[in-house]
Amino acid sequence: MLKGLNSVLCFIKRPVPQDFISCYLCTYARHVKPKKSKGVSLRKKGHFVDYVEVEVCGGKGGNGMLSFLSLPHREWAGPDGGDGGHGGHVIFQVSHNIKSLSHLRRLEKADSGVNGKTKQRHGKNAEHRFIEVPKGTVIKTENGSFLASLDKEGDIFIAARGGAGGKGNHFFLSNENRAPAVAEVGAEGQVRVVKIELKTMAHFGLIGFPNAGKSTLLRAISRARPAVSAYPFTTLNPHVGMVLYDDHEQIAVADIPGLIPGAHLNKGLGMDFLRHIERCLCLVYVLDLGLGSQIGEQQQQLEISPSSSPTPFDQLTKLRYELEQYQPGLSRRPSLLLANKVDLPGAERKVEELQAKLKEERGKDKLEDQHRSILKVYGVSAKRAIGIDELLHELRVIYDKNHVLSQDG
C-alpha cells in the first residue's frame, strides 16, 4: 500500500510538459451550462465600468487642544491640552471579489481625526478608507502620468494621505516656557484627481457591427443579460459574462458596443468602443451573415449601400482596419472568426466563401502577417443555439494557450 502511494507521489512531483497540460485541459475540461436567472428583482443594477475619474480626499487631522488644568489646592496645574488624531488615508486594495469599477464614486473621502481634549487626552486616529479594486487596475494622475499598477492579490496603493493631527499646548511645555498658550490646527488631507482604469477587462471581446448578434451570443453562453433588440446600438455599455467549466475555471467574455466605419475618427461610440477592445486579451470577430439582406436606415448608419451586399470578409476587413488605425498591432492579437446567423438561407454558402477567401489571402506574402492571428472560422446561430458547444470548447483552447501557459512561462 505504501509503495503504491510513494509511486503516485513521485509521479506528481515530476515536471509535466506544458503541451501535456494544454492538451489535457482542452480535451477534458467541459463548460457548465449557466443556471437560470433568479429573477428581474434580484438582478444587479448598473453597467460594467472599466474607466473612471475619482477625486480622492485624505481625512483632515484633528486640532490640538489649548487648555490649562486647575486642581483642588493647585489652581495653576499647567497645560493639559491633548494632541489631535491623524486623518485617514484613501487606499486602493486588490480583491478577487471585485470585477468592475462601477462601485467607485466620483468623490472618495476618508474620515477626519478626532480633536484633542483636556487632561492630556489625545484624539483618536481615523480609520483608513480601503477601497477594493479588481486585479490589473492601473492608476494615473489627472495629466495621465503613471502612478501604480495593482497586479497581485492584496496589492495596495495610497492614493491620498490623511493630514497629521495638531499638537496640543502640553506638547510645547518646556523649562523655558511653563505655560505655552499655543496649539496646532490639524493639517488638511491630500486632495487630487486620479484616473482609474482596468488593464484587462475580459479574456475575450465580442466585436462586430451593430445587430451582429453579440448580445444574443453572450446571453446564450453565460448568465449575463444584455438588452437585445432589432435596432442598432442596443448595447451602449460593455457587458461581461462568465463562462464556467467543470474544472472550476472561469473565462470572462465581454459584449463590446457595436462598431461602425470611422470609429477611429470618433464616429459612433468612437474611442470608447476601441478603448474597451484594447483591454481584451483575445478578440472574437462576430460577422453578420444576414447583413447583405438588410436595407434601409440601419445600412445608412453603417455607411453601407444596399446594392453592395457586404460579404463577411468585407466586414472583417473593415473591423481590422479600424483596430489598426486606433492602435497598430491591435488586430494581431489572438482571435477567432465567428460567422453568426447560420440558420438564415444562404448562410452556409457565405461561410464557405469566407473560408476560401481567407485561404487565398493567407497565401499572399503581403497579408500573411495580418491574418496570422486568426485561428478558425466557426458558424453559429446564437438565437437557435447552433454550434455553441464547439465555440465554448474552442474558447477554452485559446484561453489555455494564451493565458494559462503564458503565466506559467
Q: How many secondary structure helices (H) and strands (E) does the chain include?
A: 9, 17
Is 190 a member of any domain?
yes
Q: Are residues 190 and 257 in the same domain?
A: no
List the CATH number of the domain containing 193. 2.70.210.12
Q: Are residues 182 and 214 in the same domain?
A: no
Q: Please state, as a whole number, how many other Cβ atoms lie within 10 Å of the Cβ of residue 359.
A: 10
Instruction: Looking at 76-224, list the stretches that DSSP marks H as alpha helix, in order from N- to C-terminal side.
Output: 214-221
Q: Are residues 126 and 261 in the same domain?
A: no
List the CATH number of the domain containing 360. 3.40.50.300
Q: pLDDT by residue for the chain (409 residues), tens digit each?
A: 444 445 444 444 445 444 444 444 444 677 776 665 555 444 445 567 888 999 999 999 999 999 998 888 888 888 999 999 999 999 999 998 888 888 999 999 999 999 999 999 999 999 999 999 998 899 999 998 999 999 888 899 999 999 999 999 999 999 989 889 999 999 999 999 999 988 777 888 888 888 778 888 888 888 877 777 665 666 667 788 888 888 888 888 888 876 766 665 555 555 666 777 878 888 889 888 876 544 434 444 444 444 445 688 888 888 888 888 888 888 888 888 888 888 888 888 888 888 888 887 776 644 445 445 555 788 888 888 888 888 888 888 888 887 654 454 3
Q: How many domains does the chain have?
A: 2
Strands 335-340 and 374-380: parallel
Is 298 a member of any domain?
yes
Q: Are residues 166 and 280 in the same domain?
A: no
Q: Are residues 244 and 208 in the same domain?
A: yes
Q: Are 145 and 159 in contact (CB under 8 A)?
A: no
Q: Are residues 224 and 194 in the same domain?
A: no
Q: Are 38 and 89 in contact (CB under 8 A)?
A: no
Is 321 a member of any domain?
yes
Q: Are 278 and 327 in contact (CB under 8 A)?
A: yes
Beta strands (DSSP E) in 228-373 are 239-245, 250-255, 280-288, 335-340
Q: Are residues 361 and 396 in the same domain?
A: yes
At residue 46, the 3 state secondary structure works out as: coil
> Domain boundary at 198, 217, 250, which?
198
- Residues 307 and 408: their CA atoms lie apart, in Å, by 51
Is 106 a member of any domain?
yes
Is 8 a member of any domain?
no
> Domain boundary at 198, 216, 231, which?
198
Give how far the C-alpha of residue 69 lies from the chain's centroid of Cα atoms, to the nearest Å. Answer: 57
- Residues 100 and 200: their CA atoms lie apart, in Å, by 11
Range of the domain at 146: 51-198
